């Protein structure tokens, strides 16, 4: 058995177990992560975030993301804000802007307005081979066969793959039934996150997201970015986009579509603890 110190954090309803892997030696197996994620017998979280030191010039920290099922994710926007607050609270860095490296990208995180935190989420990737998504060429939308239906989706990667669809009423959307089917769809070789989007007005959307390796969460940062990007591309929204989730509100800025997309939102520390595993 080993004792692990951790911090439970929340970003607009997306909850995380954050671990300092700089001052502690951490090497968790997927089965151990699944045990920790159990909301009745463990800590309970959507993702486990592991902060590690970096030896690369210009990179402040390594940022590893593990889903509740033990799989490693490429990206997490809500988690990035929590990681930034964790670094500040632990006084691990005095900078007001830090760069962290994830499994497949580098993210810049900084102070935002009104105590919020802003994350540079990179450029929305629409090329099928890079999402990845099975299609012969890049299109603004695709027809995704689900049973006897064809669902109009936008396919995009925000560092991780997303299938985004527009619905009339997000509260009535078939998230729990259609979400897991889309997650494992053959058209997405690496599986995907399934986003359901209701257009409130040109600057406001409401979303629900079935997250790959987790299930439906109260909020999803990359899902908010994917939803806003597709809504803008389809001409249904314009920047800045207020994104309402079941756990809180986020703001996506993408006024110049030749530049990276910015995600702004809250982060808070819930409690600190220690667990033996």
CA 65 to CA 73: how far, in whole Å? Answer: 5
Q: What is the pLDDT of residue 1?
A: 78
* pLDDT tens, position by position, 254-265: 999 999 999 999
- What span, in angstroms and rounded, lies between the C-alpha atoms of 228 and 76? 16
**pLDDT of 34:** 97
- In the chain, CATH 3.10.310.10 sits at 3-111+266-276, 142-259
pLDDT tens profile 186-241? 999 999 999 999 999 999 999 999 999 999 999 999 999 999 999 999 999 999 99
Q: Tell me the three state secondary structure of residue 200.
A: strand
Please state which of the ranges 68-72, 76-80, 102-106, 201-205 shows the lowest mean pLDDT. Answer: 102-106
Find how far residue 111's CA is from the centre of its chain.
19
- Given a cut of 90, whether residue 2 has pLDDT beyond it is no
Q: Which pLDDT score, from 0 to 100, does residue 166 have? A: 98
Superfamily grouping for domain 3-111+266-276: Diaminopimelate Epimerase; Chain A, domain 1 (3.10.310.10)
DSSP-derived secondary structure letter, 74: S
Distances (CA, A) of 272 to 17, 53, 115, 210, 275: 9, 21, 21, 28, 10
List b or e across 29-67, with b for residues whose CB sees 16 or more CB atoms inside 10 angstroms.
eeebbbbbbeeeebbebbbbbbbeeeeeeeebbbbbbbb
Q: Is the pLDDT of residue 172 over 90?
A: yes
Q: Is 90 exceeded by the pLDDT of residue 93?
A: yes
Domain 142-259: CATH superfamily, name plus number: Diaminopimelate Epimerase; Chain A, domain 1 (3.10.310.10)
Distance (Å, whole) CA 167 – CA 156: 18
Single out the residue of 271, 226, 267 nearest to residue 247, CA to CA. 267
Average pLDDT, stretch 86-96? 94
Average pLDDT of the chain? Answer: 96
Q: Which residues are catalytic?
A: 76, 220
Nearest Cα residue to 163 out of 258, 87, 220, 230: 230
Q: What pLDDT does 45 receive?
A: 97
pLDDT exceeds cutoff 90 at 156: yes
Q: What's the rounded mean pLDDT across residues 66-76?
A: 95
pLDDT band at 271 (very low <50, low <70, confident <90, very high): very high
């Amino acid at each position: 058995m080993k004792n692990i110190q951790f911090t439970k954090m929340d970003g607009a309803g997306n909850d995380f177990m954050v671990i300092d892997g700089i001052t502690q030696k951490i090497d968790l197996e997927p089965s151990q992560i699944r045990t920790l994620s159990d909301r009745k017998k463990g800590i309970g979280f959507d993702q486990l975030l592991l902060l590690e030191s970096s030896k690369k010039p210009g990179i402040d920290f390594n940022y590893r993301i593990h889903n509740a099922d033990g799989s490693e994710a490429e990206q997490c926007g809500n988690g990035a804000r929590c990681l930034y607050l964790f670094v500040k609270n632990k006084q691990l860095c005095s900078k007001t802007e830090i760069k962290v490296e994830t499994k497949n990208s580098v993210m810049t995180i900084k102070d935002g307005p009104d105590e919020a935190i802003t994350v540079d989420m990179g450029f929305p990737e629409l090329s099928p081979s890079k999402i990845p998504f099975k299609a012969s060429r890049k299109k603004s939308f695709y027809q995704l066969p689900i049973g006897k239906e064809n669902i109009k989706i936008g396919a995009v990667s925000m560092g991780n793959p997303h299938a985004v669809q527009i619905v009339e009423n997000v509260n009535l959307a078939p998230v729990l039934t259609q979400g897991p089917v889309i997650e494992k769809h053959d058209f997405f070789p690496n599986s995907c996150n399934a986003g359901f989007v209701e257009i409130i007005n040109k600057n406001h959307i409401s979303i629900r997201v079935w997250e790959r390796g987790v299930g439906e969460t109260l909020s999803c940062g990359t899902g908010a970015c994917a939803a806003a990007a597709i809504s803008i591309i389809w001409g249904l929204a314009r920047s800045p986009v207020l994104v309402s989730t079941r756990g809180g509100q986020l703001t996506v800025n993408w006024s110049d579509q030749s530049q990276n997309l910015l995600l702004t939102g809250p982060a808070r520390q819930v409690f600190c603890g220690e667990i033996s595993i």
